[in-house]
Chains A and B, each alone.
Chain A
Amino acid sequence: MDNSVGIVSAQRAHFDTPLTLKSGAVLPHYDLVYETYGALNAAKSNAILICHALSGHHHVAGVYADEPKNVGWWDNMIGPGKPIDTNQFFVIGLNNLGGCHGSTGPSSLDPETGQPYGSAFPVVTVEDWVEAQARLADRLGIGQFAAIVGGSLGGMQALQWSLSYPARMRHVLVIAAAPKLTAQNIAFNDVARNAILTDPDFHGGDYYQHHTVPKRGLRLARMLGHITYLSDDVMANKFGRELRHGKVNYGYEVEFQIESYLRYQGDKFAGYFDANTYLLMTKALDYFDPAHDYEHELNRALARAQAEFLVVSFSTDWRFSPERSREIVNALLHNKRRVSYAEITSAHGHDSFLMEDEQYIAVMRAYLGRIAQECAA
């Protein structure tokens, strides 16, 4: 494979120091799974942390030896010679707490009961994730990151890092994110959650013991989410009103291609993702609002930040619109932080941040080139 980091493997870090969460709940012990690419330099100054979005995880780049087709979710951005160049940087991807890809989450076994946590797993927030990520950084001996990078919910974590630990990174890259969700955004999340919560197979979150999975709910949640990640234009171009069998049948079976596509996406997702993790991730999105403790003044909330910022948005992203990114930019300007802002013209809606786009790649390459120069200096 061209410019791939090649074969990678996940690692596991166990933590015994209790983590007090924002909700007040305490996780006495937990595991985080992570992957690393590239080499940490002698000065330990070239580390980059990748924060994942709702359905992401630690497998960010490369492939597994036994799964050569399982390519990391941001492999187009990370690798030798790619914008996040693994010849220059030591890149870390991890699965967040509450996840379903190996880090401790609702589907993990609670060592105290021998049963999956299920409904007993506490609600975690973006702040809690940053706390756990900081402990992983301590474990890996990284005092200050060259950059913390994230898209969507990952961008919120990157932003939160700059507030929780202002001196622990030099650069923050906030991509397709927002300083908080709008009411419309929370509404979408609530409908998605309701699909799961009202699935008869949900069993209050303890479906593992019932050997069922609330697949119907999770599938609906993903179908709804998927609509909001795409733009009207891209759906129109890709599917239009195309019919699967060339004619309508005056019934409720799948007729339009878009219906078929959404169901396929929903089924695929429901086949591997954990419903409790989906609930928890959407709640973390809803709760994120750093300005809340500052009388809703983002300017004051971001006053603590010390890093330099790159903020990127996408023109057709209506779930995390360019205007929301501009709110972050404006608050950084108010605080006289170094900040650059790129609004990428892209047809792909919110999903654009994961896509191959010439201008997007060029912007990332240019900004990361500046970071690499600083690391080398």
Chain B
Amino acid sequence: MSPLTTLRPDFAAIARWIPAGASVLDLGCGDGSLLRHLADTKQVRGYGVEIADADIVACLNNGVDVIQSNLESGLSGFEDGAFDYVILSQTLQATRHTEPLVSEMLRVGREAIVSFPNFGYWKARLNVLRGQMPVSAELPYQWYDTPNVHLCTLDDFEMFCANSRLTILDRRVMTGGNEVGFLPNLLGATAMYRFKRAE
């Protein structure tokens, strides 16, 4: 097995939130890179959930346990409170039933972690100002072929959490691998949130 030399920056940021030995469910886990990294570095036990055939094979080749399932039909196979963390990285914006899915994440997990492209990023805003939908490294699709049906900004997401009685525990905002502190809704390309149900 080849060592993971280049971990996606948002994965590295998410990994910093996960304590050693935690149990993790990674929704839309792709080829299993994050889970593999967490298993190798933090003895994290977990499963990926993926729908794409090629990713199932990639996960198995990565030694990652994966369940082939459609997130849109919920997480009915997973029991309440089965995991410490449920992760949804770069997938939130592509889910159709976003609100029920977030609710499901916090049914099966104690805490949820999501990452998504920030539609409030200045380059995206500039594109829209120029009269076109943004196309970038974070949003590499044309309007007619994009899987992203629920794009949002940092502010949008935080308002959603407030309205849905979710407590944000931590936030990281990044652009090109660097942490963004100043004016994150304008200067951040990618957002990561850790949150739970309000007590």
Contact = CB atoms under 8 A, between A and B. Distances in A.
A370 interface: yes
Contact of B67 (A334, A340, A366): A340
Interface of A: 310, 326, 329-330, 333-334, 336, 338-343, 345, 359, 362-363, 366-367, 369-370, 373
A362 B57 contact: yes
A180 B155 CA distance: 50
A359 B59 contact: no
11 contacts: A334-B79, A338-B65, A339-B67, A340-B59, A340-B67, A342-B56, A345-B53, A363-B57, A369-B61, A370-B61, A370-B63
Contact of A330 (B56, B60, B77): B77
> Which A-B residue pairs are the 8 nearest by beta carbons?
A366-B60, A330-B77, A341-B67, A362-B57, A366-B61, A343-B68, A359-B53, A340-B65
Interface of B: 1, 45, 47, 53, 56-57, 59-61, 63, 65-69, 77-79, 82
Most A CB within 10 A of own CB, among B63, B66, B78:
B63
Contacts of B78: 333
Contacts of A343: 68-69
B61 A333 contact: no
A209 B1 CA distance: 61
A333 B47 contact: yes
Contacts of B66: 340-341
B189 to A, nearest CB: 33
B45 to A, nearest CB: 8
A310 B77 CA distance: 16
A373 B61 CA distance: 11
A367 B65 contact: no
A333 B57 contact: no
A37 to B, nearest CB: 23
A345 B45 CA distance: 28
A336 B78 CA distance: 11
Contacts of A334: 79
Nearest to A365: B57
A115 B110 CA distance: 66
Nearest to A374: B63
Q: Could you say which of A336, A340, A362 has the most chain B C-beta atoms within 10 Å of its C-beta?
A: A340
B67 A367 contact: no
A175 B30 CA distance: 23
Contact of A342 (B63, B68, B79): B68
